[in-house]
Structure 1
């Protein structure tokens, strides 16, 4: 009765059960193993582990079996390092394509009175858990990316700007290379919003963001929405002349959009003012010095009539 009960348990359990004797011959091969290996127990029992799985000889699972038989050691094989050690398949389609199920493998010594030590290998299908974990990682990655993107314009937001500037500032400090920053403000944007409506205002900001991004062509350059109608651009390995050239190109491109602005104090289309700062960070330099310098330059651009670019030439002194 007990043997029949044990046999029923082995057939009902939703996991693979392999039992090998002291000579590594397979003595138990349950129904789950038959189903997912497509190998009937009658063809397996009596054969050695190496005969059934020649590709696994001296692999992690085989070593764990030897350790269980010879040294009475139990092993739980890391799923990260051994994702699918056994040729087991969820269904016939996967078997044809060679797509193995993800597995968790537990190898345990088995002591039975009157018998030499045996070993139990338990195999669990963890494909669903692995799939869920992968989806959770993807969702977490997507959520993280969304927190770094401005919801309106689709470009980097203020948080992404802060992180990227910190990274590039440290890089510039290590390499003693120039780092430039451009602060950009849409001229008379409040008047644009008040007279054309916030929907037109949002559309205007989206166009400006896309145009600013189109001027950049290096992977480490970054344009971000700093807040409201203000944008900022990080330019690693860029000196004053290079930064001024890029800023002037951006100014001209925005003006070239010919977005109607009949309430601007500059002209009849939407324009921007730009402040530029450049420095080679020194040991005690902080990112705030670069931002402050660009912001001062932007203020000067507005005082100079707007729709222009101003370089803050004292950026290095302010960084000391």
Structure 2
């Protein structure tokens, strides 16, 4: 800094002095400039100073470039003119600094990327907060890598829980849901119902029309079954091969039969031609079972529930298929 008080920052200290004079704050010119100079010397980042009136006192070239402007165009402007809705956040920050907080860091987005924003208080001679310094560090490349990794992670997590052909939850995830919902229903004393669902004569469908058509058939059925379940918490998944399973929490046997009938109609409504079926189109057989239990002996009751649904499914097949049957035997 030469004898005129100029530094590597050019005329900006003079502009700060002028602006501080305008707002009647000359008393903190020296600590402000000292803090600013130290900040510029020690942190390789875009830097700015903001007064308590939420106006820019000074910014460096890197900071202004983030907003596609010049330092001269920013000094004296309200922060809210440059960053919409930023004034209220800055006022909250000032309150926290007045209460003794030393630094606030947050990730922010700007038009050209992602930044880590670090805000620190500048204190006057008597210890009061007279302004804020704001530093922006470009983390765009890091965030892009993080977002890409998150997408990969979500992709693998999805496929770990979902069937690759139909997109429905797979058996592992269905078992997890069954365990969680049975515990919840046991605690609340509410009923839990399950549907075991089998595509009628599916092996014959594949033999007559080929596996690609079979895969397309399963995808269409999966989408329609998912569409039938509209309550939050209801889940349908692919249990294996041409077998599906639906879990219906807070649903008694009557309600479960209603869902099963809707599924039968929905799949018949697809009108997928089946040359080897006596019905001429693809149909379902569904086993329906329900329970209300306490937490005691819960696992045994869950096994019993699944066994009842499986027995009901075989009863539906024995009754001619294209039907839903409950256990004890009740044809729907």
| Interval containing the TM-score (normalised by the shorter chain) | 0.5 to 0.7
* Structure 1 residues 131-158: Cα deviation after superposition (integer angstroms, max 9, x where no partner): 5545544554454334433322233332
Partner residue in 1 for 2:104: 77
Task: Report the TM-score when normalising by structure 1.
Answer: 0.66
Aligned partner of residue 280 in structure 2, secondary structure: coil
Name 2:26's counterpart in structure 1: none
Q: Which of 171, 177, 186 is matched with 2:190 structurally?
A: 177
What's 2:136 paired with? 124
Change (3 A) 1:58 1:210: closer
Query: What's 1:288 paired with?
Result: 303
**Equivalent in the alignment of 1:150:** 163
Alignment partners' CA distance in 2, 1:198 and 1:42? 66
How much has 1:55 moved relative to structure 2?
7.0
How many positions carry a matched residue from both structures?
Answer: 278
* Partner residue, 2:17: none
| Mapped pair 1:220 → 2:239 | no
188, 195, 201: which one aligns with 1:188:
201
Residue by residue over 1:256-300, the C-alpha shift from the partner in whole angstroms, topping out at 9 and shown as x without a partner, is 444333334x54332221111100132121333322221122123
**For residues 262 and 89 of structure 2, what CA distance do their matches in structure 1 show?**
63
What displacement does 1:130 show?
Answer: 4.4
SS, match of residue 161 in structure 2 = coil
Report if aligned partners of 1:18, 1:30 keep a CA contact under 8 Å in 2.
no
Cα gap change, 1:183/1:38 in structure 2, threshold over 3 Å: closer, same or farther?
same
- Residue 207 of structure 1 corresponds to 220
The aligned counterpart of 1:233 is 246
Deviates more, 1:232-241 or 1:298-307: 298-307
1:14–1:214 Cα change, 3 Å = closer
* Kept in 2: contact 1:16–1:123 (CA 8 A): yes
What is residue 275 of structure 1 aligned with on the other side? 287
State the TM-score, normalizing by the size of structure 2.
0.64
5+ residue gaps in structure 2?
Answer: 11-36, 77-85, 124-130
Question: CA 1:19–1:300 in 2, change beyond 3 Å: closer, same or farther?
Answer: closer
Separation of aligned partners in 2, 1:144 and 1:79 = 28
CA 1:248–1:43 in 2, change beyond 3 Å: closer, same or farther?
closer
Verify: 1:242 aligned to 2:255, yes or no: yes
In structure 1, the gaps of 5 or more residues are 21-25, 45-52, 68-72, 92-99, 111-118, 315-320
Deviations 1:33-88 (A, max 9, x none): 455584449968xxxxxxxx997877546865996xxxxx9x443326xx48xxxx
Measured in 1, the distance between the counterparts of 2:304 and 2:217 equals 30
Q: 1:308 aligns with which of 300, 319, 323?
A: 323
Choose which of 248, 268, 272 in structure 2 pairs with 1:259.
272
Question: Alpha carbons of 1:62 and 1:102: their partners in 2 closer, same or farther (altered >3 Å)?
Answer: farther
Q: 1:29 to 1:268 in 2, by over 3 A?
A: closer
Q: Check whether the contact 2:61–2:70 (CA below 8 A) recurs between aligned residues.
A: no
Answer whether contact 1:301 1:310 (CA < 8 A) is retained: yes
Q: How far is the alpha carbon of 1:253 from its aligned partner?
A: 3.5
Q: Structure 1, residues 86-128: CA drift from partner, whole Å, max 9, x if none?
A: xxx667xxxxxxxx97333264999xxxxxxxx9957132451
Query: SS of the counterpart of 2:106?
Result: coil
Secondary structure of the residue aligned to 1:306 is coil
